[in-house]
Amino acid sequence: MKKSLVKLFSRRAGHWLFAFLIINGMAAGTVHAQTPAARPPSATAAPAPVAGDEDMPSLKVGDPAPPLTVEKWIKGKPVSKFVPGHIYVIEFWATWCGPCRAVMPHLSEMAARYKDKVTIIGFNVLEISAGKNKSGDYVTKVANFVKNLGDGMDYTVAADVREETTYKEWMTAAGMGGIPSSFIVDGNGKIAWWGHPMVLEDALELVMDGQMTPTKRMSLWQEFKAKNEKRMALAEQMQQLKKAGDNAKALQLADQLIAETIMGKSPFVIAKYELLKSTDPAKAKAYGNEILKTFANDPLTLQDVARTIINNEDAADKALALGIMEQAIQRCAPDDPFAYSTLAGIYFKNGDHKKAVSTQQYVVKLLEDTSLVEQRQEIKDKAREDLAKYKAGK
C-alpha cells in the first residue's frame, strides 16, 4: 500500500513530502518540501540523543529557557523576556526550508486561536550557514520573505545574530539537529516541550492545561504516528473508491483529509479538483476559485496545485494554473528561483513565450547571484536549458 501511495502522490502532485511523511511517520523530524538552496550540516535531520550517548544535551525539559539573542525583530512586538504566567512557542525556521514554510499557515492559525495566552515567535536561523557569503545581508532577505508572505506568517518573527547564538543555545544545546523545530516555554519560564511542529498543538494544549508529564511527552509522538497511519489508510481508500467510480465517497474522504492534514494538503486538494472535474466541471471551476481564496496565504500548496493541473490538456486548467501561480508568486520571496521557474514554465505552456523567457531570465539571474546562497550546478544547468527551450518556442 505504501509504495502505491508514494507513486500516486509523487506522480500526481509532485509532492514527495507527503510520501515521506506517510512512510516515515515524520521520524526523522526534517525534510525539504522543495529542493533547498543549501543543506548546512547543522540543519540536517538528526535523532535526539538517548541515554548513554557521550554528548548528552545540556538543555533539557524543565530547564529555564535561555534568552533570545536577536539581530532584529522583523514582525510583531519584541519579546525582551518571558513574562511569568504567559506561554511562548519558539519556532526555528529558515527561508530555504520547505517544511518550515509548509507549516507556517498552521502556525498562523494557532497564533490567532491562542492569542490571549500564547505568543508564537518564528525565529529565523541558519541563513548564513546556507550560503558562501558569510557577510551577506541576511536580515533584509528574511524581512523581504516575511513581508511578501504577509498574513501567511501572522505571528512574531525575529532573526538570529550572525554568530547563530540563539540557535546554539537552544537547538544545539537541546541536541536538536533539524528544522523546523518548536519549543514551548511554560508560564514559569521553563522548557516544557520540544519537537516537530506537526505535534506542537497537541503538546501546547497539554502545557496550557497543566497536564504535560514525562509519560505524555513520550506518548505524543506515538499518537501522531497512529493518526498518520490512519490518514494513510484513508488516502488509499480514497484512491480505491476513485478507481471503482464511487466519486461521491471519494470526495468525502478528500474533504476529510484536507481538514485533518496540517502540512502537505496539496495532494488531497488536487484529488478533490480532479474528482469534481470528472463528474461536474462547473463545480470543479467553482472549487478552482475556492482554492485561490482558501490557500491565499499558502503559496506552497498553490504552487503544487498549479504545477499539477498545468499538465492537463484542458485549456481551462491551464488558465486556472496560471491564475493560481500568479497569486502564489505574490506571496513568495522575490529571490525564490523555484517559484519563478514554475511561473515561467506555466507561462510557456499557456503559449505566452515572451513572459516565459523574461521570467526564466530572472531565474537564471537569481541562480547566478551567490551573495547569500550557492545553488547546485545541476539546478543552474536546468534553468539555462529551460531558458533556451522557451527562447526556441518549443
Q: Is residue 346 part of a domain?
A: no
Q: Is residue 209 part of a domain?
A: no
Q: Is residue 284 part of a domain?
A: no
Which residues form the domain of 77? 34-46+55-197
* pLDDT attached to residue 10: 39
> All 3 cell numbers of residue 277?
472535474
The angle subtended at Cα 249 by Cα 248 and Cα 254, nearest 5°, is 100
Q: Is residue 154 part of a domain?
A: yes
Q: Is residue 306 part of a domain?
A: no
pLDDT digits (tens), the chain, 394 positions: 444 444 444 333 333 333 334 333 333 232 233 333 333 433 333 333 333 344 678 899 999 999 999 999 999 999 999 999 999 999 999 998 989 999 999 999 999 999 989 999 999 999 887 666 677 788 999 999 999 999 999 999 999 999 999 999 999 999 988 899 999 999 999 999 999 998 999 999 999 999 999 999 889 988 888 988 999 999 999 999 999 999 999 999 999 999 988 888 999 999 999 999 998 999 999 999 999 999 998 999 999 999 999 988 888 899 999 999 999 999 998 889 999 999 999 999 999 999 999 999 999 999 988 766 677 889 999 999 999 999 998 7
Q: Comparing C-alpha atoms, which of 283, 289, 311 is closest to residue 302?
A: 289
Q: Is residue 97 part of a domain?
A: yes
Question: How many domains are there within the chain?
Answer: 1
**Edge-first strand listing for the sheet containing 181-185:** 70-75, 156-160, 118-124, 87-93, 181-185, 191-195
What CATH number has the domain bearing residue 96? Answer: 3.40.30.10
Q: Is residue 124 part of a domain?
A: yes
d(CA 235, CA 8): 10
Q: Is residue 331 part of a domain?
A: no
* pLDDT attached to residue 320: 94
